[in-house]
Chains A and B, each alone.
Chain A
Amino acid sequence: MPLLEVSDLRVHYPGTEAPVRAVDGISFSLQQGETYALVGESGCGKTATGLALLRLVEPGRIVAGRVVFEGQDLLSLPEDKMRRLRGARIGMVFQEAAAALNPVMRIGVQVGEALRIHRGMSRKEAHAEAVALLQLVALSDPERQARAYPHELSGGMKQRVMLAIALSCSPVLLIADEPTTALDVTIQAQILSLLRELRDKLSLTILLITHDLGVVAENADRVGVMYAGRMVEEAPVGQLFERPEHPYTRGLLRAMPGSGSVEDGRLPTLPGVVPDPSDPPAGCRFHPRCSERFEPCDRDEPEMLERPGDGRVACFLFHGEPVA
């Protein structure tokens, strides 16, 4: 049984004319111990998906779907039970570590806060545990850093603290939303390496949300590619990079700097822009930008088909069995 199973999840945000359909019917599941990456451009709904798993979509609304985590449907759980789960069984880290930390509270207190709330630890116990957690995330001199304030730490150190907080109650699932996007590459490499280490040490399951295919290539086991609120392709990482079936996946891969396909000093591009999520195009949402579109693409919505190996793709160019 998968650790987490998401089916037909739909999240709407209020829009000026029509609701913004940020997540518009996506399904995927996470197996125990794997790192699953949700990848796509800004506005594709990947962050909203992560937040919906925790039911933190205000001012939006989860309008449909099921999110089954460890056998229970999170979307029908009473709020107090959900609160007990957040931060305890499911940890999370966000892109903006600086914004997520309280600037006037010592690091150690912030790391220990969840332990006092979820585990009922005393101040002293929580402090000792916080120091141990800071050590776990390889922060140098954890005793001293526990007494520091966020402004005394660099961006990379703050992200380590965020990880310590996320892991404080020994979650089984970690949602990491663009955890290294604001960091320099050498620091990014350190944090991603730490994340891989912790995953093995604590047998974590990780939902990695990112726009960076390089980060995906080096860290994920499986990948779901999102476009305009839908999932267009999903596959084990090796297969996706070797044989992308969806034209959007191919476009994303080609547009990645360093993919090696430069012609005459020009980078390969995907023409056009992502559609307005309150008024997505009919048929396949990618068809206005797709160079391979044909007759059904602007009329019918493609269904998810089985890719060879272990994957799925939603494209009329592809011939395969519908996903059961």
Chain B
Amino acid sequence: MSADPLVRARGLRKSFRSRGGLFRKQGPAFHAVDGVDLDLHTSEIVGLVGESGSGKSTLGRILIRLIEPEAGSLHFNGTDLLALEGAELRRLRREFQIVFQDPYGSLNPRMKIGDAIGEPLTIHKLVDGRPQRTERVAELLTQVGLDPAMATRYPHEFSGGQRQRIGIARAIACGPKFIVADEPVSALDAPVQAQIVNLLVDLQEHLDLSYLFIAHDLQLVRQICHRVAVMYFGRVVEQAPAAELYSAPRHPYTRALLAATPTVRPGRPAAPALSGEPPSQTAPPGGCAFHPRCPDAVAECAHREPALLQIDEGHKVACHLVAGQTPKDTA
């Protein structure tokens, strides 16, 4: 793997507050993304998993500057992405794209899908006139496994899987290098999921793309990702090569997530690995955010936040209980 990552993020932070209203004061800030470092290399598929509210979608959107972080640095292919403005930023935008979970919500219902796919080509001046655009759209539709004749149809005429193919065609239209796939198959049935995932893998190989693959389904992530990062409450708690994360998960949260994922083996599972719910965003627990639910928590965990430390080649964990995490001050 080359030394310079395609995407290099350091210390990214983003907090949100609930808006104040006529009868309500502005709410306290909660940290959706709370100091995340992430590298993504060319041709790499990195999985980002975590439960709702863990900050994974916010992180994905920060990486392509759909959301402005409050702190941290972000480099794309060596360029400081956060320093870019206006036309420069717009020019670079064709190199990173996003595929959303709900392709229906992201497609204009009154726009023919050929136009939805062709619009970015016109905006980025990648085609010269209508006939050329129509030709390129036909090519893109074929590439995602749709009939080019479908270009004149409207979004409602398509099934969920087909709409996701349209979303993918639009994402690859401008020849990006990096795609954030935000739960691209979560709304689809398993057989259709497999079709779309395979399409994404095919495109990744043919077009030499890099993906940040955001998902909550660990089994799916395992099968297509090279590396996986697990997020909990705004922070990455574990990061490892995919095979290793599944064979030797170290963070108690990763282990619990794996244990909670249903398998195809019939039989009653053990009692749920995790009790309780993810912490409240407005009243976060001190120390490690996972400690109130952690089966292995010790006193230290409630007081000091563990740092994300390397424990093995490419394997990082943020947990006081994992070897190598020496407490600086004892509680």
Contacts and interface: CB of A to CB of B under 8 A. Distances in A.
B190 interface: yes
Going nearest first, the 6 A-B pairs with the smallest beta carbon separation are: A214-B262, A258-B219, A257-B219, A184-B51, A270-B191, A267-B194
Interface string B204-227: 000000000000111110111000
A237 B266 contact: yes
B264 interface: yes
Contacts of A266: 198, 201
Interface stretch (A15-23, A59-67, A121-129, A189-197): A189-197
30 contacts: A41-B192, A154-B277, A154-B278, A155-B52, A157-B277, A184-B51, A185-B218, A185-B260, A185-B262, A186-B257, A186-B260, A186-B273, A187-B277, A193-B269, A196-B268, A213-B264, A214-B261, A214-B262, A214-B263, A217-B263, A217-B267, A218-B263, A218-B269, A219-B268, A257-B223, A265-B223, A266-B198, A267-B194, A269-B195, A271-B195
B265 A217 contact: yes
Given A255-B193, A273-B161, A265 B273 contact: no
Contact of A251 (B160, B162, B191): B191
A132 interface: no
A85 B211 CA distance: 52
A154 B52 CA distance: 11
B270 to A, nearest CB: 9
Given A251-B191, A257-B219, A189 B52 contact: no
A165 B71 CA distance: 46
Nearest to B268: A218
B219 A185 contact: no
Interface in A126-162: 154-157
Interface size classification for chain B: 35 or more
Q: Which of A185, A215, A259, A269 has the most chain B CB within a 10 Å cutoff? A: A185
B159 interface: yes
A212 interface: yes
Contacts of A273: 159, 161-162, 192
B189 A268 contact: no
A14 interface: no
Nearest to A221: B266
A240 B265 CA distance: 11
Nearest to B272: A189
A55 interface: no
A218 B266 CA distance: 5
Contacts of B224: 265, 267
B201 A256 contact: no
A155 B193 CA distance: 24
Nearest to A191: B272
Interface of B: 51-52, 159-162, 189-195, 197-198, 201, 216-220, 222-224, 256-257, 259-269, 271-275, 277-278
A164 interface: no
Contact of A217 (B190, B262, B275): B262
Nearest to A155: B52
Q: Which of A252, A257, A269, A273 has the most chain B CB within a 10 Å cutoff? A: A257
A211 interface: yes
Contacts of A256: 190, 264
Contacts of A240: 266
A147 B16 CA distance: 28
Q: Which of B160, B190, B218, B267 has the most chain A CB within a 10 Å cutoff? A: B190
Contacts of A185: 51, 216, 218, 257, 260-262
B245 to A, nearest CB: 14
Interface in A232-269: 237-238, 240-242, 251-253, 255-259, 262, 265-269
A238 B264 contact: no
B260 A189 contact: yes
A267 B267 contact: no
A7 interface: no
A69 B244 CA distance: 51
Q: Which of B189, B193, B216, B217 has the most chain A CB within a 10 Å cutoff? A: B189
Contacts of B190: 41, 211-213, 252, 255-257
Contacts of B160: 42
A256 B217 CA distance: 11
Given A255-B190, A257-B222, A265-B223, 13 more contacts: A155-B52, A157-B277, A186-B257, A188-B262, A189-B260, A193-B272, A213-B264, A217-B265, A258-B222, A267-B197, A269-B194, A270-B191, A270-B195
B223 A267 contact: yes
